Amino acid sequence: MNNRPTVLSGIQPSGRLTLGNYLGAIKNWLPLSATHDCYYMLVDLHAITVRQDPAVLRERCYEFLALYIACGLDPKNNVLFVQSHVAAHARLSWVLNCYTQFGELSRMTQFKDKSAKHVDNINAGLFGYPVLMAADILLYDATHVPVGDDQKQHLELTRDIAQRFNNIYGAPKHEIFVVPEPMIPPVGARIMGLQDPTAKMSKSDDAETNALYLLDPPDTITRKIKRAVTDVGAEVRFDIAEKPGVSNLLSILAATTGESIPALEERFAGSQYGAFKAAVAEAVVECLKPVQARYQELREDRDGLLAVLRDGAERAAVRADATLKRVHEALGFIPE
Ligand code: TYM
């Protein structure tokens, strides 16, 4: 084990990366490498719980990796890798399956939502999805997991599994797993859809105008924000129950500019929705400009991207294999 605290997080390579993924996750990863050992994955094993086209999946992994780097994640200071390249994830996931209850997994809201959406493919992987996520986290002794609000329930389950395993196999000063804490940003942890501000903005949304994608051109961003659903009344005020549309735009503006919501309410007191939306659009365009400028060049250097993944997998495996060994020993497996 190591002296610096460790963070680990990941994104499913499905759909297209949204502003929600950026504000809820990636943006908050950026400063952590100064103080933490950082591991960031593309969770391709998780992605196949829903049918994927193989060629599209492969290209998307390159695209997402290029976007990670374009957002400012330097591969020298952050271990960037693909989940399927580190065999310990699938191996620990199997073990943890045997320490997770059917009832616990049945209560996961993401499972309930996804099984309602994919009725023809409610596979065992979809059910066991949170166990693989627990393995991802526990393999790296992650002390903190920076995620958006929707992953909170999975994090709680991870903590429960870790504590259960420690209670059975650990000793007071020799715990097997580090019990991780979620790291959820105060603003931006739950960005909602522009057309339906009562449901979260999602990578795999069918409605093109509901989400802002990191690679949307500036005029598309501006158009989508101008057409975003707002609420009755003309007041720019943060009130999720009464004004979900305006509140969501306020969250976006606060998270992209770093200004507080009360300061923004004051700034836009008496303004029309039109002026407010124009300010939100400008802030988002400015925030994504440097990312989009860097992206293209990175995306074209496929060999460079592959080299990052090879190096990342090698560095990740060192930590992951050590944990898996500790677990196998605790279980009584004959050492390999
Ligand atoms: P995924 O791919 O759905 O989302 C990636 C990250 O983006 C955050 N996020 C949002 N934040 C704010 N507003 C939104 N509308 C929004 N939509 C998504 C998510 O909270 C997440 O942080 N199960 C995970 C991937 C995963 C993982 C892990 C995460 C697998 N193993 C280990 C952390 C640690 C998922 O499907 O995220």
Top mutation candidate among 150, 203, 247, 284 for ligand 1, by most atoms within 8 Å of CB: 150
Q: For residue 273, is pLDDT > 70?
A: yes
C-beta of 108 in contact with ligand 1 (< 6 A):
no
Q: How far is the CA of 21 from the centre of ligand 1 (A)?
A: 7
- Quote the pTM value: 0.96
Q: What are the pLDDT digits (tens) for 185-202?
A: 999 999 999 999 999 999
Q: What are the pLDDT digits (tens) for 112-162?
A: 999 999 899 999 999 999 999 999 999 999 999 999 999 999 999 999 999
Active site annotation includes 200: yes
C-beta of 21 in contact with ligand 1 (< 6 A):
yes
Q: What is the reported pLDDT for 2?
A: 55
Pairing outcome for strands 37-42 and 6-11: parallel
> Left, alpha or beta for 258 (phi > 0: left; psi -120 to 50: alpha)?
left
Measure the CA–CA gap between 290 and 286, rounded to whole angstroms: 8
What is the spatial order of strands in the sheet that 181-183 belongs to?
79-82, 37-42, 6-11, 144-146, 181-183
Q: What are the pLDDT digits (tens) for 218-245?
A: 999 999 999 999 988 889 999 999 999 9
C-beta of 49 in contact with ligand 1 (< 6 A):
no
Mean pLDDT of the chain: 96
- What does the block give as tokens for 199? 């449901």
Q: Can you say how many angstroms the Cα of residue 66 is from the centroid of all Cα atoms in its chain?
A: 16
Of 27, 76, 114, 325, the active-site residue reads 114
CA nearest ligand 1 atom 27, residue: 10
144-182 in b/e form (b: 16+ CB < 10 A) is bbbbbebbbebbebbbbbbeebbeebeeeeebbbbbbeb
Measure the CA–CA gap between 193 and 170, rounded to whole angstroms: 44
Top mutation candidate among 17, 21, 194 for ligand 1, by most atoms within 8 Å of CB: 21
Of 76, 152, 173, 203, the active-site residue reads 203
- What does the block give as tokens for 143? 């002390």
- What does the block give as tokens for 133? 């996520």
Residue 27 is inside which H or E element, if any? helix 27-29
284: nearest Cα among 19, 17, 15: 19
- What does the block give as tokens for 49? 């719980």
Of 27, 76, 200, 289, the active-site residue reads 200
